[in-house]
Every structure is written in C-alpha cells, then in structure tokens.
Amino acid sequence: MRAFFVTFLNMLKSWKSWVFVAVTVALFLVPGFVDNNYLVQVLFRIALFAALGLAWNIVGGYAGQLSLGHVAFFGVGAYGYALFSELPSMSKWLALLLAALVSVAMAALIGSIAFRLRGPYFTLATIAFAEVLRLVATNLAVTGGAIGLTVTSLFTGRSFWRSFYFAAVTLAVVTFLVNVWVSRSRFGYYLMAIREDEETAGAVGIDTTSCKLQSLLISAFFTALGGALYASAFQFMIPDSILNIDISIQIAIVTMLGGAGTLLGPVVGAMLLLAASEAFKNQFKESHLLIYGILIVGVVLFLPEGIVGGLRRLLQGGKKGKAKPSVNAPVSIPSAPAGGVA
C-alpha cells in the first residue's frame, strides 16, 4: 500500500501526471457539453470497456497470461450485485463491494487451478470456468435461470446515464492508476519477467504462481465492479448476455488493439473499438461483431504490439541512440505479447 502512494507521489513530479489530471478533469466535464442521452450512453460504455481493458491488462498485458474467461469475473460481479442488492437493508454500494469480493474469491479458486497450466491450456481452462458459470447460472433458480434477473439500478433520476458515465470514468481512472503502479513497482516487474520467460523468472527467485495469482485477484476485483456497473445500468440480465464468452473476447481485444502491456493501450483500444462498432451497428445489424473479427485479424497480422505499442516503437526507432533498452524488446522475444513499459 505504501509503495502505491510513493509511486503515486513520485508521479506528481512529472509532466505526464499533470496531463493525466487535466484529462481526468476534462472527462468529468464532458457530459456538461453533451446533451444527448444516447451519446452519453456510448461514452459510458467506452469508459466502462476502458476500465475492463485496463483491469485485463494487468493479467493479460503485464503478466502475459491470455485469459479468455474474464467474463466469469464480470458476470459474478453482475450477479453478485443483483442478488446482494435485493437483500433487506442492504446499501447498493455495499452490495457492489460484496459482489467484487465474491468475484475475487472466485478468481482465487479459478486461478489456483488454471495457473497450474501454461499457454493454450491456461486459456482453455479460463474459458471452461466461464462456461461452467454460464451454464450453472442458466440452470439455477437463484439466478433466475435462463429467464434472468432484473437489477436494481445504482442511480436513478433524470441524469441517469450521466451518473453512470461518471461512475465508469471513476472506475477507469482508478484502474488506470493501478496500472501505473503495476508498471513501476517491483510487483509489476516480476509480472513482466514472468511474461518474458517464466522459467528464468522462477529461477531468479520470483514466486511465479503467487505473482500471477495476485495479478488475477486485482484484475478480477475491477472487472467485477465493471460487471456490476454494466448490469445495474441496463437493469436486466440473462446468462447468455452477461456471461457470454464474447465479452471476454471484447475485453481482450480492446486491450490488444490498443496495445497489451501499455498504459494507454486499453483506453485507446476502447475508444476505437466501441466507436467503430457503434458506427457499423446500423450497417451490419446483428453482425456487429464482424468488425471485431476483422480488427483482430488486422491487428494480429500487422500491428502485433497494438496501436500504442506500434507507435512507441516507431518513435523509439527514430532516436535509436537515446532509447533505453526496452525490457521486452519485441524483436528478440517472439513468445511475448510485446509492448513497452510506458
């Protein structure tokens, strides 16, 4: 915790932190200029997916573990919030926190099994866990089965979407700060070492299993908050929508498109992807995931480091002499989702 604040205070010395503060303030002022509920709703989803992408980035980007089961944490957050908030004399905010904690417990369970596996096996195990949850939610009475649940909204009133936008931006900003801390802390360097070469990381004394698990717990906490926010904004959910593997893929793609393992990547990815899918929604109707597919294929083929990662390499290439040796120079390590350390 102390380390967190020390890094944070150190940040205040740099110009980047002032840009960050300015952008944050600007983000909170945006709805003042937008008088269109639909647009605010789109902005809400962009902020939400930026937060989800940033949360995923800790596991998928810095630790390099391709989880395609994050919808499990998202869904547990959503269901947890829906069920806890129904309890008598339960505050909505407490329900939100409890849901996130349940999701962290779930992550501990999933992680303790899935992290015994590597590479494609790990990915498959995360998917399997998420699918088990979806099927269980479809078949249990508590979760309303396939019919689903209605969800108490966190906010009500005329500024409905505006409030949700603020909540999502807050979540994104906090998750961003956690990413900043990860990218500069000893813990974060451990994660990146694991990403580059897990055997070597273990050999130099890093407890790889514990580090990976911790990164998953942090990630699950924020993913669950995002899920709860999502469910409470749309006020209704069924297992096939809230626990759909498509959400896992979207979260991963948002991050990969922008650049996994970079700070700004998930934010850039969320803006681009959601804007694009919104723009093409009318053309493609129910096929709006087509644009996701095309973007995935394009990014994997031509921009393996994502937009932010690619840009950084371009800039660093321009001033070769000065560029400090990147921890994960993408050329030399083909096995890693390359990206910079921001």
Partner 1 sequence: MNGLLTGALYALIGMGLALIFGVMRIVNFAHGAFLMVGMYATWLLFDLLKINPYIGFVPAGIFLFGFGQLIYLLLIHPLRNRSHFMQILMTAGIGLILVDAAQLIFHADYRQTNLDLVNRNLHLGPFTANAAEVLSFGIAVALVVGLHFYVTRSLTGQALRAIAQNPEVAPLMGINVGRIQGFSFALGTALAGVAGGLLLPRLYLFPSVGEDFTTKAFVMVVLGGMGSMEGAALGGLVLGLAENFTSLYVGNQWALVVDFVLFLVVLSVKPSGIFGRQRA
**Residues of this chain that bind partner 1 (CB under 8 A):** 64, 66, 68, 113, 116-117, 119-121, 123-125, 127-129, 131-132, 135-136, 138-139, 245, 249, 252-253, 256, 284, 286-290, 292-297, 300-301, 304, 334-337
What is the smallest separation between the CB atom of 235 and partner 1, expressed in angstroms? Answer: 25
**Token pair in block for residue 90:** 């339960």
Question: Nearest approach, Cβ of 295 to partner 1 (angstroms)?
Answer: 8
Question: 29 vs 301, which CB is nearer to partner 1?
Answer: 301
Alpha helices in the chain (DSSP H): 2-11, 15-33, 37-56, 71-84, 92-114, 119-139, 160-184, 186-196, 198-203, 208-234, 239-242, 245-258, 265-284, 290-302, 306-318
From residue 122, give the alpha-carbon distance in Å to each of 67, 69, 138, 209, 251: 7, 10, 25, 13, 17
The radius of gyration computed from the CA coordinates of the chain, to the nearest angstrom, equals 20
- Name 326's Cβ contacts closer than 8 Å, sequence gap at least 6: 316, 340, 341
Least distance (Å) between residue 146 CB and partner 1: 9
Counting every residue written for the chain, the total comes to: 342
Query: What is the nearest approach in angstroms of partner 1 to the Cβ of residue 224?
Result: 21
Do 91 and 98 touch, CB atoms closer than 8 A? no
Q: Which is nearer to partner 1, 31 or 306 (CB)?
A: 306
Which residue, 217 or 295, has its beta carbon nearer to partner 1? 295
Closest to partner 1 by CB, 52 vs 99, is 52
Can you tell me the distance from the alpha carbon of 194 to that of 215, in angstroms, rounded to the nearest whole number?
A: 12
Least distance from C-beta 296 to partner 1, angstroms? Answer: 3
Tokens representing 199 are 């055997």
CB of 57: closest distance to partner 1 in angstroms? 13
CA distance 43 to 124: 32
* Beta carbon nearer to partner 1, 21 or 119: 119
Q: Which is nearer to partner 1, 93 or 121 (CB)?
A: 121
